Amino acid sequence: MPNPLLSRWDTPFEIAPFASISDADFAPALEQALAVHNEQIEALANSTEPPGFANVIEALETPCRELEQVLGVFFTVAGADSNPKRQELQREFSPKLAAHFSAITANKALFARVRAVWDQRGTLDLTAEQQRVLMLTFRGFVRGGAALEGRADTRMQEIKGRLATLGTQFTQNLLADERGWFLELSEDDLEGLPDFVISAARAAGQELGKDTPVLTLSRSLITPFLQFSPRRDLRRKAFNAWAARGANGGETDNRAIAAEILQLREERARLLGYENFAAYKLETEMAKTPEAVRGLLMDVWEAAKAQADADAEVLTEMMQADGINGDLEPWDWRYYAARRRAAEHDLDEAALKPYLQLDRMIEASFACANRLFGLEFAPLDVPLYHPDCRAWEVTRDGQHVAVFIGDYFARGSKRSGAWCSAMRQQAKFPETQAPVVINVCNFAKGNPALLSWDDARTLFHEFGHALHQMLSNVTYESISGTSVARDFVELPSQLYEHWLEVPEVLQEFATHAETGRPMPKEMLDKVLGAANFDMGFQTVEYVASALVDLAFHDGAAPADPMAKQAEVLAGIGMPRAIVMRHATPHFAHVFSGDGYSSGYYSYMWSEVMDADAFAAFEEAGGAFDTERARALEEHILSAGGSADPAELYTAFRGRLPGVDALLKGRGLAAE
Ligand SMILES: [Zn+2]
């Protein structure tokens, strides 16, 4: 029998025939698909035809159907419905796929042909999108090291290998420090803690084989402990252990590793012809330069610090009223902030939930997309990989746009978090293909299923990513949908969250599961007020981390990263009762891999943009302004990576994003 992963799918909308695929099909299908793709690449690399856009760049853009089918199905089920066999396959596939794709960018013969097309670019009469794809392809090869020769090439391979080892070591050391520390608690030590913290501490004790409850550095235990324990001595002990992760001396100390990683990154960037690692890293981002990143972060910093300083005074007074003199310390902040929150925002999560029914929130997300973009959603009966999955056909003016799949409920076989992926991305080359897009969440089941406010935001967030995929209207798949810069990809998703907060949307869709009544206005105000609580603290701890990350990579690598960190913090006047959200020895975003190195800023960058972009609707007359919606689709949602993100944003907004709307939204704007 032919392998169902490799056959042509004769199903409605060519959705994978999940029911006829078994786990035993994956490994042989991947082998075969990789072989097909390799043949395709080899034929391209060894072609004797004169290189041109069609036979080099478009040939590279021609998807390998077999490989896309195998990977599309495998990564969908490996994330959303795993089992031991699929986990084992994932461990097997990851290095294989990494090697496969890096061999393509390292292929000298292929690169020679790409370069030949690049060199003729001035005479090729290409569309703007084709020029962009050519530039991205050429740049991808150069950044992968394809242009390096001889010793430089060898050294690059050494550096890549060493960086991979160091990143793994950094992660493992951090894990060892997090697992190695615990504090046995007596019954007296549990005073003031909510039940869920006490039962978590008892469970942690049992897991460690102790008769007593135990405090560990697991985030779900340490954070509420610091918020709720009135015992300052214990908070101090716990906080210091948390803050010392990766810097405890001995075998698990990460400080020397961080220093070596920074040196190697700088060397790598220089080998590739960049001034430093930040210049290399930011080249592909919307921000483009360290100056742009620093400018944005500092615009936010001053306002956040002013708010945090004012909050510190309030918290210090609360502490002194408890009879404690002296300064507010980092182990005091969360505790007094939680007490202040309880006093100022008496939001009852349990009373809120019945207003947030999953099905009505799905309807709300669809209704907004209908008013903004004219999309219509009709339930679709297709067999999928799990009975909890639902599908809709998305149309506009009667024309098929996409298939949208929602897989909303938590289960043991699903990894945590929420995400959006495309089982098939939109493209018009070599033939038209409509997207198949999936949102995966981890909401609790129920009858009816009810969401928390955070859950409802997550639903809108992931649906915003889905719109970016579904409304994509480009020619080439490599720049379709969410294939954009890291500091641009969260714009559509975070922007879409704003429609959840539009009063008329909640009025219509946030209706009580039993009474059917809409959510009262006071409840909405409380929800929004609580969401902004302690923003000074949160913004300060985040921006400090982002500025240190940037300083590490912009310029010569510091011989002593800890000294550099101290210098940056002193320079910005870090408040004494707040520490970096991630100090260097446990800054996994930056040191476990390359993903967020000199890129930690991008969370804030996206938030600045989504606030600024939604303000465009408000300025134009409302959340459903037709003209703004049209511009959003034309310049951002349909454009994928077909142009530079700064150009796309400017086309939508008439200018680059500014921080005012973010500061206002976070309650940090000067009155
Ligand atoms: Zn996202």
Residue matched to tokens 């040939």: 59
**Alpha-carbon gap, residue 293 to 619, rounded angstroms:** 26
> What does DSSP assign to residue 414?
S
Q: How far is the CA of 463 from the centre of ligand 1 (A)?
A: 9
CA of 467 to the centre of ligand 1 (A): 12
What is the C-alpha separation between 549 and 180, in angstroms, rounded?
27
User: Which amino acid is present at 321?
Assistant: A
What distance lies between CA 473 and its chain's CA centroid?
A: 23
Helix, strand, coil percentages, rounded to 5, for the chain: 60, 5, 30
Cβ-defined contacts of 633-636 (< 8 Å, 24+): 633/372, 633/373, 633/471, 636/468, 636/491, 636/492
Q: What is the pLDDT of residue 526?
A: 85
| Tokens at 646, concatenated | 């700064």
- The DSSP secondary-structure symbol of 322 reads T
Q: pLDDT digits over 152-165, tens only?
A: 999 999 999 999 89
CB atoms closer than 10 angstroms to residue 514: 8
CB of 576 within 8 A of CB of 308? Answer: no
280 with 143: CB under 8 angstroms? yes
462 is catalytic: yes
- Which class for 402: exposed (0-12), middle (13-18), buried (19 or more C-beta within 10 A)? buried
**pLDDT score recorded for residue 670:** 66
Taking only the tens place, the pLDDT of each residue in 571-628 is: 999 999 999 999 999 999 999 988 899 999 999 999 999 999 999 999 999 999 999 9
The active-site residue, picked from 462, 477, 490, 541, is 462
Distance 416 CA to ligand 1 centre (A): 14
The chain-wide mean pLDDT, for the chain, equals 95
CB 468 within 8 Å of CB 434: no
How far is C-alpha 301 from the chain's CA centre? 22
% of residues, the chain, pLDDT over 70: 100
**Does residue 302 have a pLDDT over 90?**
yes
Residue 444 CA to ligand 1 centre (angstroms): 20
Ligand 1 centroid distance, CA of 624 (Å): 22
Q: Residue 460 Cα, ligand 1 centroid: separation in angstroms?
A: 10
Residue 490 alpha carbon to ligand 1 centre in Å: 5
Q: CB-based contacts of 446: which residues, under 8 Å, 6+ apart?
A: none
Measured distance CA(597)–CA(553) in Å, rounded: 8
Residue-wise pLDDT for 388-433, tens only, equals 999 999 999 999 999 999 999 998 899 888 999 999 999 999 999 9
Note the pLDDT tens digit of each residue in 501-560.
999 999 999 999 999 999 998 898 888 888 788 999 999 999 999 999 999 999 999 999
Distance 454 CA to ligand 1 centre (A): 13
Rama region for 184: left / alpha / beta (φ>0; ψ in -120 to 50; rest): beta
CA of 500 to the centre of ligand 1 (A): 16
Q: How far is the CA of 48 from the centre of ligand 1 (A)?
A: 44
Sorted by sequence, the CB contacts under 8 Å of residue 409 that are 6+ apart come out as 388, 441, 442, 443, 444, 445, 449
Residue in the structure block whose two tokens are 């006071």: 522
* Gap from CA of 491 to ligand 1 centroid (Å): 8
